[in-house]
Amino acid sequence: MLVSERRERILAHVRERGTATIPELAGILGVSPMTIRRDIDLLADEGAVRKVRGGVRAAPLAGSLRAAAGTVSAEHRAVAALAAGLVEPGMAIGISGGTISLALAEALAGVPELTVVTNSLPVSELFAGPERADEPYTQTVVLTGGVRTPAQAMVGPVAVRALEQLHCDVVFLDVHGLDVQAGMTTMNLLEAETDRAFMAAGREVVVLADHGRWGTVGLTTIADLDEIDRLVIDARLEESARVQLAEHVGELLIADLGEG
């Protein structure tokens, strides 16, 4: 992996989750803690992150809510491209917050007459932006809530109540971690509640993840793996993990890195 690619992945991971520890990043990227410290020092000097004891946290995003889009990895774009193929014109779709979700929104450019239900401020900004003014009409329903996550998603009881009144053909969830025992997980209790409401609102649940999220366990469980209708994940996922996941999810879709 190139140094620039590794630093992009660190930045994307930290911006999506808000914080990360040095051992966590070293494990995900397969490098030494010393290498991660050097990368963090450089990113901090550039103002992209802020160093904290034992790790790093995201720096406030300046300007557009989509400022983090440049840090979306090749894996994320490949997953998004494959997932976008599941969407047909005229569908009502739900999209949760996260960097893969933002990549999905970008990949859906030109799909006509969608109704997009989202709690992601960057996703809503993308669909409502002037660059899409000439595209076929898309209706965007933005869910509000009392808490904004590091990924700029609104979560909480207000969003949950709104979702209880909505019905989507398919919902796309960008999750923090996947594990056989813990299922789909997140670090945010309110986000877990909101994601469960998304699942209840959809006739089909499609989960978006990169290979680094396999084996990651967040603070709280969203749902078991067998509640996933389709899991879209990149081709760097190990074969043993593919076998385990295929036993639990409805359908496992592997995104080749050339698809992004």
Task: Give pLDDT tens digits for 190-220.
Answer: 999 999 999 999 999 999 999 999 999 999 9
Q: What is the mean pLDDT of the chain?
A: 88
56 beta partners: 20, 51
pLDDT exceeds cutoff 80 at 79: yes
231 beta partners: 207, 252
Which CATH topology does 67-259 take?
Rossmann fold (3.40.50)
Architecture in CATH for domain 3-60: Orthogonal Bundle (1.10)
Confidence band (pLDDT; 50, 70, 90) for 68? Answer: very low
Confidence band (pLDDT; 50, 70, 90) for 46? Answer: low
Confidence band (pLDDT; 50, 70, 90) for 15? Answer: confident
Confidence band (pLDDT; 50, 70, 90) for 69? Answer: very low
pLDDT at 90: 95
**Region 13-29 average pLDDT:** 88
pLDDT at 57: 86
Q: Where are the domains of the chain?
A: 3-60, 67-259
**Region 252-257 average pLDDT:** 96
Chain centroid offset of residue 33 CA:
25
- Residue 103 identity: A
Does residue 20 contact residue 13 with C-beta atoms inside 8 Å?
A: yes
**Region 228-247 average pLDDT:** 97
